[in-house]
Amino acid sequence: MVKPIITVEHLFAQYGDTQVLKDVNLEVNPGEILVVMGGSGSGKSTLLNHMLGLKTPVSGTIMIDGVNIFTAKSKQLRHLRQKMGVAFQGGALLSSLTVADNVRLPLEQNTSLDTQTIDIMVRMKLELMNMAGTGHMMPSELSGGMLKRAGLARAVIMDPKLLFFDEPSAGLDPTTAVELDELILTLRDAMNMTIVVVTHELESVFKIADRVVVLFNGEVVANGTVDEIKNSPDERIQNMINRQPNTYRDDGEVYFNRLLDKDNI
């Protein structure tokens, strides 16, 4: 039996009095593309932030490659983070550095490779992202799609074992979104990366996912293959797939608490 590379167990998170994750459990197997899907406010970004160790939960554990990320020592975490790449939604490039200097940053900070080797690696990754010759450009000169691809180049510059990708196709034109989906599949196939994608873009979900976890109001309401999700009898999932406004509502008490919650702004 394959040992999962990520295990999330009984994860609860809240902002103020509002519970944003409620007993989330999931596993990610090596070499798998897991898509966490959900609408705005479903808790998917909160889940991602917890997986990255950027947030501390109320309770629950996340094990990544055998390390409990909430209790690990800083040296263990540093070692683990070198095996992880993160592509943030808007690319999250440093605006004062060129594209190439952004992409090379993890190598400069974490390795003692020669400058010439690093230069070649940066060019190779920019080529892979179809961004050859853009290394000298500043982030402000790039389109939305190029920013995402540059962010992805930086995320994979160290050939991570595990890649997290936040909303890869959000805000992109359809052609660029398809290109990015292809790239995600290539990274998994050729570099054997395990990839966790957080998105609400259905076309992307159905194209790239080996498995889909659907979050709704902070709860996992489905966990299965693309076909299983498509055929789910759950009304909330069908509404999501068919782009119907979701008529499902919390009960009155949860709604009432949210209206009075000082942190819920």
- Among the listed residues 56, 68, 117, 246, the single contact to another protein using CB under 8 A: 117
One of 17, 189, 228, 235 touching another protein (CB under 8 A):
189
Under the binding rule (CB under 8 A), the answer on residue 114 touching another protein is: yes
One of 58, 94, 124, 185 touching another protein (CB under 8 A): 124
Q: Under the criterion CB under 8 A, does residue 115 sit at the interface with another protein? A: no
Nearer residue to another protein within complex by CB, 158 or 214: 158
Cβ proximity to another protein, 38 vs 160, nearer residue: 160
The reply on whether position 125 binds another protein by CB under 8 A is: yes
Asked if residue 191 binds another protein (CB under 8 A), the reply is: yes
182 touching another protein, by CB under 8 A: no
CB-based burial label for 78 (10 Å; 0-12, 13-18, 19+):
exposed
Which residues 53-82 are close enough to bind another protein by CB under 8 A?
none
Residue from 95, 96, 175, 190 in contact with another protein (CB under 8 A): 190
C-alpha separations of 160 from 104, 156, 250 in Å: 14, 6, 40
String of DSSP letters for the chain: -PPPSEEEEEEEEEETTEEEEEEEEEEE-TT-EEEEE--TTSSHHHHHHHHTTSS--SEEEEEETTEETTT--HHHHHHHHTTEEEE-TT----TTS-HHHHHHHHHHHH----HHHHHHHHHHHHHHTT-TT-TTS-GGGS-HHHHHHHHHHHHTTT--SEEEEE-TTTT--HHHHHHHHHHHHHHHHHH--EEEEEE--HHHHHHH-SEEEEEETTEEEEEE-HHHHHT---HHHHHHHTTPPP-----HHHHHHHHH-TT--
For residue 53, is it left (φ>0), alpha (ψ between -120 and 50) or beta? left
Count residues binding another protein (CB under 8 A).
21
- The nearer residue to another protein, 26 or 126, going by C-beta atoms, is 126
Binding-site member from 65, 101, 159, 179 for another protein (CB under 8 A): 159
Is the CB of 130 or the CB of 239 nearer to another protein? 130
Among 40, 71, 116, 140, binds another protein (CB under 8 A): 116
126-155 residues near another protein, rule: CB under 8 A: 127-128
Q: Least distance to another protein from the beta carbon of 207, Å? A: 19
The Cα 224–Cα 29 span in angstroms is 13
Please identify which residue in 54, 58, 94, 120 interacts with another protein, judged by CB under 8 A: 120
Considering only residues 84 through 113, tell me which ones interact with another protein, judged by CB under 8 A: 111-113
- Tell me which residues in 192-211 interact with another protein (CB under 8 A): 192
Residue ranges that bind another protein, judged by CB under 8 A: 111-114, 116-118, 120-121, 124-125, 127-128, 157-159, 186, 189-192
